[in-house]
Amino acid sequence: MNTKERAILLMHCPDKIGLVGEITGFLQSNNGNIISLDQHVDPESNEFFMRIEWDLNGFIIENQKIGEFFNTLIAQKYDIKWRIAFADAVPKMAVFVSKYSHCLFDILSRYESGEWKVEIPLIISNHDKFKHVGKRYNIPYYHIPITKDNKAEQEKKQLDLLRKYDIDFSVLARYMQILSDDFISHYPNKIINIHHSSLPAFAGAKPYESAYKRGVKIMGATAHYVTAELDAGPIIYQDVTPITHKDSIKDLKRKGKDIEKIVLSKAIWSHLNNKIISFRNKTLVFGS
Amino acid sequence: MNTKERAILLMHCPDKIGLVGEITGFLQSNNGNIISLDQHVDPESNEFFMRIEWDLNGFIIENQKIGEFFNTLIAQKYDIKWRIAFADAVPKMAVFVSKYSHCLFDILSRYESGEWKVEIPLIISNHDKFKHVGKRYNIPYYHIPITKDNKAEQEKKQLDLLRKYDIDFSVLARYMQILSDDFISHYPNKIINIHHSSLPAFAGAKPYESAYKRGVKIMGATAHYVTAELDAGPIIYQDVTPITHKDSIKDLKRKGKDIEKIVLSKAIWSHLNNKIISFRNKTLVFGS
Amino acid sequence: MNTKERAILLMHCPDKIGLVGEITGFLQSNNGNIISLDQHVDPESNEFFMRIEWDLNGFIIENQKIGEFFNTLIAQKYDIKWRIAFADAVPKMAVFVSKYSHCLFDILSRYESGEWKVEIPLIISNHDKFKHVGKRYNIPYYHIPITKDNKAEQEKKQLDLLRKYDIDFSVLARYMQILSDDFISHYPNKIINIHHSSLPAFAGAKPYESAYKRGVKIMGATAHYVTAELDAGPIIYQDVTPITHKDSIKDLKRKGKDIEKIVLSKAIWSHLNNKIISFRNKTLVFGS
Amino acid sequence: MNTKERAILLMHCPDKIGLVGEITGFLQSNNGNIISLDQHVDPESNEFFMRIEWDLNGFIIENQKIGEFFNTLIAQKYDIKWRIAFADAVPKMAVFVSKYSHCLFDILSRYESGEWKVEIPLIISNHDKFKHVGKRYNIPYYHIPITKDNKAEQEKKQLDLLRKYDIDFSVLARYMQILSDDFISHYPNKIINIHHSSLPAFAGAKPYESAYKRGVKIMGATAHYVTAELDAGPIIYQDVTPITHKDSIKDLKRKGKDIEKIVLSKAIWSHLNNKIISFRNKTLVFGS
C-alpha cells in the first residue's frame, strides 16, 4: 500500500443522522477506498467529528478539485467545517528558539534522520546562541532580539519571514517570549508551544521552581496550540515523570527536558500527520 | 442521550472498497443514528475491522431481527465475521479464584458499587478459602478441588455449572489451575486470565521470583484471553510498575497485586463494553 | 531475618558534620545492626533528614527506653526532631467516607486480606450509605451527618470517637466535608486525604468537570496530609492516567476511581511503614 | 555548596554489624561532611551495599590518597569491594553506532549542550554513514567494518583505539554487532547497550517484529551492561510505551526510538554520576 497517495479529510459539524453514510458514500462512489475512519460525537456539545483517510489510486476526482466537490456536494448541506490534507505533502515548519537547546536539537535530529515529513525553512531566535546550528543544517537563522520597546516591529519582521518562506505552522521550542495577540491571530491552531509543566498546574513563568516549592511527586510537560490567553490554548499532548524529595531544582530541570522534548515532538508528529481537530479550546487527537 | 438503547456491531472481513459506506448506509437508511464508529484496516493482513455503535430510538428493525437482516443484506456478501451486542444487556460472568484475594475483591467491589453492567451468578474455586465471601455477596460459591487424577471430571462439573447458570464469559482472578484444551474450546475468547508479568516475559509459573532474579527495573501484568497454549492467548491489556533494587520478592508481590487487579478489571471493562475484536491471536481494543 | 523485631528512627535537623557517624555509632555501639539507612541533605534549606531501620535482636536498650536514651544522648545536642516506630506495631486507623465506595472498598479489601499491618476500629460517615459495610467487617460505623449549623458539635463527636478508640491516624476516603482548622490541629500529619486531581491543578470542588472542560490529556490523583489550607497540604503520592477526547465526564470519573484508590492506598502504605517525613509543607517519602 | 569538590564511595561486602558507623566514622573523623548516604542490605544474599557522597572541602586526606587509606583502614577488614569517584571528574566515553541515528543524535545533543560531564573522544562504527556527524562535533570517527571473517582483527583495532584514547566506558548506541566474549572481558560493567525491547521479552534480533506479531499492548526498551551472554547483562534502566492495534511495525519503530534514546541516556547519566553498583548480574541504581 503506497502511503503517499492518500488524502485525509478532517471535519466537524452539528451531529445529524446520515452524516457518516453520506460522507463515506461520496468517497466510495468515486472509487476511494477508505483506509481508516475515526468518528466521534461529543455528548456535551452534540458535535460530530470525523477523520477519514482514503487511497487516491483510482479516485476519480483529481486532488486539487476534491475540496471543491466535497464542499459543494456535502459540506454546505451540513454546515461542516473541514480541511483536506494529502499524505505526500511536506509542510513548512518554522522553529522559534531562545536559549535552551533540548527541544531544538531533538527537532533537528528527527529532521536530519528523515523521521518526519517536514521542511524547516528557517529558525527564528531572540538570541544568536544557535546561529552555528542553523549553519550546520543549512537552515537560515534569523536573530531577532526582542525588547519591551521593539516588540511590535520585531514581530512584524517575524511575520514577514513566515510569509516569505510560506510557512505552514510554527513551533515554539522553548521560545521565551510571549507572542502578541495580533501575531497569534494570523496563525490560529498553527503555533505549537511546549510548556514545562502539566497545565493547568504552574502556568506562567518558573514552573520548575513552583513545582519544587509545592513538593509535587510528578512533574509534567504540555504541548498546546497558542491562543491569546497565556498557556491556556488547546492541549495536544501531555506527559509526566515521577519526582522525589531527592530531586533538586536542577534535577527537575534535567528531568523536565526529557519529557519536554518528547512531548513537543509527539505533538508535532500528530500535527504533521493531520491527526488533530481543534474545537472550542480543546483538541481531538486521533491515535497512530 | 439514553445510552441504554444502543446497539453495537463488531466485525471483520477481507478489506474491500465500499464496505464502510454499505454498512453505514444499512444503518442510516433504517433510521439508525451512528454514535461512534471506529474502523481500521490492518496493513499486514489487509483485514478490515469495524466497531459501530448506534442509537436504537426510531431504528426500524426490531432488536432481535437486526442480526438476521445484517447477515442477509450485508455480511454474506463480504464474508464478514460479526457479532451484535446491546448496550443494555447484562452479561453473566463467572469468577474463578484460588487463594489470592486482590483480584476477586476488586471485581466484587466494582460489582457491589454498580460500576459494571454485569451479573455474577457464581464463583468457582479449587479452595474453600473464600466461601464466606460468596455468602457475603449472595453469590453461590462452588468449591471444586482439583488433583492430577480428578481434573477431567472436575472440569466437567465446572462446565455443567457454566451451562446451568448460562454464563457468557469467565474471569480467572488468579486461578492457579491450568484449564484443559477441551475446557477452553467451549469458550473461545470468553475466558479472561490475568498473568502476573508483562507477557511474553516470564510466562509460566513464578514470574515474581524470575523477575527478581533477573533484576528487572519494571514489572508488569497482562490480561489475555485463554487459549490452548499456556499464557500465549490474545493480549487485551498490559501495564507495568517501576521496581528498584530495594524491592524484595515480597515487595514485588505487593506492587504486583495493584497492577494485576487494575489490569484485569480494565480488560473486563473492555470485554463488557464490547470494545474487543479478536483476530489471529491478537486483539483490537477500541478506546473508551 | 525477623522483620517484626525492628525499630525505625525518622529525624531531621540542621545539617552538621558528624551527624551520621554519631547516630549510627549510637545504634551500633549498643549492638543494633542497621538494616537500611536513607539519608538526605536538602540543598535549599540545608536540613538533614534520615530514616534508619535496625534489628532489635540483641539491642541492649529496651524498646520503651530507646527514645529517652536517643533524646538525651544525641537529639538534644543537634536539635533533632525525631520519632521512633517499631515494625511490629499495629497502628489504629479511622476511615472517613461519604458516598463513593471505591477507596473504602479498596482499603477494606487490603485490610481483610492482611495486606497491611493496621487495625481499623471505626468508620465515620456523614451518610448512612455504608452502614452494612461496617457490619460486614465488624467495624463500628458512626453516622454523623454534617450541616452548616451542626458542624462544630459534630466534629466534637468525631474527635471524641477518635480519642475513645485511640486512633493514630485518619484516612479521608473521598470524605466530602471540609474539616475545620481546629479539627485538623489535633492531628498534624495524621490525616491523609485523596484529592481527585493532580494537585495543584484543579484544587477544590469538581476537578473532573474542570479537567474535562480544560481538555487535559492526562488526569491525576493526589494523596496528601490535610492542613488548614484546602488541598494545599504536603503531597505524599501522585499518579496520572491518560485521557483522550473520547472520554466523557463519566469516563473521567471511572478512570479517576482507579488511580484514586491506588494512590490513596500507596500513601497509606508509606505512612503505615514509617516511610514519610514531613517538613515545611513537603514530604520525604522513602522508597520500598 | 560546590558540587565539584565531592567524592563518592561505592561499595559492597557481606553484611556485618558496625559497618555504617565505621565507614561514616572514617569520613567524619577526617572532617568529611556527608552529603548523601544510601545504604541497603539485600535480604536474599545478606550483602551490604552503600553509596556515600561527601564534601572534600577541609577533608584532611588528599584526593589521590583516599583510596589507599580507606582500603587499609576499613575495606580489608570487612572484605569490601569498593571504588572511589570524584564529582569533578570528566569520564571518557566511546560511542559505537551502526545505521540508526536516534540514540547517537540524542547523546551528541546532550554532549553539545553540556548536559553531561563527559568527554567523547571517538565514535566507532561498522558503517561510514555518520562520518559527517563526527566531523560536525570534531570527534574522530573510525569506520571499522565487520564481517564474519575479519571480526577478531577488527575488534583488536577497536580495543587499541579504546586504549589509545584512554576510554573509561563505551556506549552501544544501537550498534548492531555482537561483541566477542574477549572484547567484553576487557570492560566489565563498562559497556552500556540499549536493547529495543523490555528484556527479557524479545531478546535477540527483531524485537519490533516479534512484539507486533505477539500483539503486545506495551513496548519497551532496556539499557544494560554487556556481558558474554547476549542481552542478559545487568539491567540499568527500563521503560515502556503503550501500543494499540493501530500501530504498524513502522509505528512501533517510531515509538520505540523515543523510549530507546531516553532510556539509554538515563542509564548513561546514572553511570556518569556514579549511581550504579553491579552485583551478581543485577544492578543497584541509586536515585537522583
Q: Is B275 exposed, middle or buried (0-12, 13-18, 19+ CB in 10 A)?
A: buried
Rounded CA separation B30/B28 (Å): 5
Secondary-structure breakdown of chain C: helix, strand, coil percentages, each rounded to the nearest 5: 35, 30, 40
D85 CB-side CA count, 13 A: 20
Which amino acid would we find at residue A21?
Answer: G
- The answer on pLDDT for C21 being more than 90 is no
In order, the DSSP letters of C245-287 are TT--HHHHHHHHHHHHHHHHHHHHHHHHTT-EEEETTEEEE--
Task: For residue C151, give the amino acid letter.
Answer: K
D28:C36 CB<8 A: no
Let me know: does C249 contact C209? Beta carbons within 8 Å. yes
Task: Name the residue among A152, A41, C23 with its Cα closest to residue D37.
Answer: C23
Spell out a b/e string for A253-267, using b for 16 or more CB atoms within 10 Å of the CB, else e. Answer: bbbbbbbbbbbbbbb
Please say whether the beta carbons of B54 and B33 come within 8 A.
Answer: yes
Is residue A42 flagged as an active site residue?
A: no
Contact D215 B282 (CB under 8 A): yes
* Amino acid at position B5, single letter: E
pLDDT at A4: 58
Chain B CB within 8 Å of residue A38 CB: yes
Indicate the average pLDDT of chain B: 95
What value of ipTM does the predicted structure carry? 0.95
* Mean pLDDT of the residues in chain A: 95
Instruction: Report pLDDT for A181.
Output: 96
In which residue are the cell numbers 442510516 written? Answer: B28
C106 in contact with chain B, both atoms CB, cutoff 8 A: yes
Total CB pairs under 8 A between chain A and D: 55
* pLDDT value for B8: 97
All residues at 6 or more sequence positions from D30 whose CB lies less than 8 Å from its CB, including other chains: D59, D60, D61
Report the residue of chain C nearest B135, measured CA to CA: C136
Q: In whole angstroms, give the CA distance from residue A43 to residue A66.
A: 30
Q: Which residues on neighbouring strands pair with residue C94, listed in sequence order? A: C122, C170
Domains of chain C: 6-86 (3.30.70.260), 92-285 (3.40.50.170)
> What is the rounded average pLDDT of the residues C33-49?
91
DSSP assignments along D28-87, one per residue: HHTTPEEEEEEEEE-TTT-EEEEEEEEE-TT-SS-HHHHHHHHIIIIIHHHT-EEEEEET
Of B200, B275, A34, nearest in space to D212 by CA: B200
Q: How far, in Å, CA of D137 to CA of D147, rounded? A: 28
Please determine, for residue A192, whether its predicted confidence score (pLDDT) is greater than 70.
Answer: yes
Interface test with C, best of B258, B266, B268 (most C CBs within 10 A): B258
What span, in angstroms and rounded, lies between the C-alpha atoms of D27 and D15?
19
Residues of D in contact with A258 (CB under 8 A): 262, 265-266
How many Å lie between the alpha carbon of B198 and the closest alpha carbon of chain A?
21
- Beta-carbon-side half-sphere exposure of residue A271 (alpha carbons within 13 Å): 27
How many angstroms separate the CA atoms of C20 and D52, rounded? Answer: 11
What is d(CA C232, CA C181) in angstroms, rounded to the nearest whole number? 13
CB under 8 Å to A263, separation ≥6 — which residues? A194, A221, A222, A223, A237, A238, A239
With H, G, I as helix, E, B as strand and everything else as coil, classify residue B27.
Answer: helix
Q: How confident is the model at residue B276 (pLDDT cuts 50, 70, 90)?
A: very high
Banded model confidence at residue B3, pLDDT cuts 50, 70, 90: low
Q: Tens place of pLDDT for every residue, chain D, 288 residues?
A: 445 589 999 999 999 988 998 999 899 899 998 988 999 999 889 999 999 999 999 999 999 999 999 999 999 999 999 999 999 999 999 999 999 999 999 999 999 999 999 999 999 999 999 999 999 999 999 999 999 999 999 999 999 999 999 999 999 999 999 999 999 999 999 999 999 999 999 988 899 999 999 999 999 999 999 999 999 999 999 999 999 999 999 999 999 999 999 999 999 999 999 999 999 999 999 987
CB–CB of B34 and A20 under 8 A? yes
> Over the stretch B73-85, which tens digit does the pLDDT of each residue have?
999 999 999 999 9
Is 50 exceeded by the pLDDT of residue B2?
no
Cell 497502628, located at residue: C91
Interface test with C, best of A217, A227, A236 (most C CBs within 10 A): A217
Contact assessment for residue D238 and residue D199, using Cβ atoms and an 8 Å cutoff: yes
DSSP type of residue B13 = E
C258/B265 touch (CB, cutoff 8 Å), yes or no: yes
Is A191 within 8 Å of A170 (Cβ atoms)? yes
Reported as half-sphere exposure (CB side, CA atoms, 13 A), residue C41 has a value of 19
What distance in Å separates the CA atoms of residue B222 and residue B196, rounded to the nearest whole number? 7
Mean pLDDT of C240-253: 95
DSSP B73: I
Cβ proximity of D249 and D21 under 8 Å = no
- What mean pLDDT comes out for the span C243-251? 94
Q: Is the pLDDT of residue A280 over 90?
A: yes
Are B118 and B112 in contact, with CB atoms under 8 Å apart?
no
The pLDDT score that the predictor gives to residue C204 is 85
Q: How large a percentage of chain B has pLDDT more than 70?
A: 99
Q: Are C113 and B102 a contacting pair at CB < 8 A?
A: yes
Amino acid in position C64: Q
Phi, psi of D134 (to 5 degrees): -55, -45
What confidence category does residue B107 fall into, taking pLDDT thresholds of 50, 70 and 90?
Answer: very high
- Is D244 in the B-facing interface, judged by CB distances under 8 Å? yes
Is cis: bond before B200, omega within 30 of 0? yes
What is d(CA C146, CA C140) in angstroms, rounded to the nearest whole number? 19
**Cross-chain Cβ contact A21/B19 below 8 Å:** no
Residues of chain B positioned with their CB less than 8 A from the CB of C265: 258
> Cis (ω within 30 of 0) for the bond into A234?
no
With cell 538534644, the residue in question is: C76
In this prediction, residue A35 has a pLDDT band, given cuts at 50, 70 and 90, of: confident
pLDDT value at residue B204: 85
Portion 8-37 of D in contact with C at CB < 8 A: 15, 17-21, 24-25, 27-29, 31-37
Q: Which of C36, C112, C246 has the CB atom closest to B287's CB atom?
A: C246
Give the residue from chain B lying closest to C135, CA to CA: B136
Q: Which residue of C has its CA nearest to D55?
A: C17
Residues in CB range of A93: below 8 A, 6 or more apart: A118, A119, A120, A167, A168, A169, A170, A171, A268, A272
pLDDT, position C4: 57
pLDDT of residue B210: 93
- CA dist C75 and C86 (Å) reads 19
- Measured in residues, chain A has a length of 288
Mean pLDDT of B53-68: 95
Measured CA to CA in angstroms, residue C160 lies from C157, C166, C167, C186, C190 at distances of 5, 10, 10, 11, 16
Residues, chain D, total? 288
- C3: confidence class by pLDDT, cuts 50, 70, 90: low
Confidence band (pLDDT; 50, 70, 90) for B17? Answer: confident
pLDDT at D2: 47
What is the three-class DSSP state of C226?
Answer: coil
Q: Is any Cβ of chain C less than 8 angstroms from the Cβ of B115?
A: yes
3-state secondary structure of C204: coil
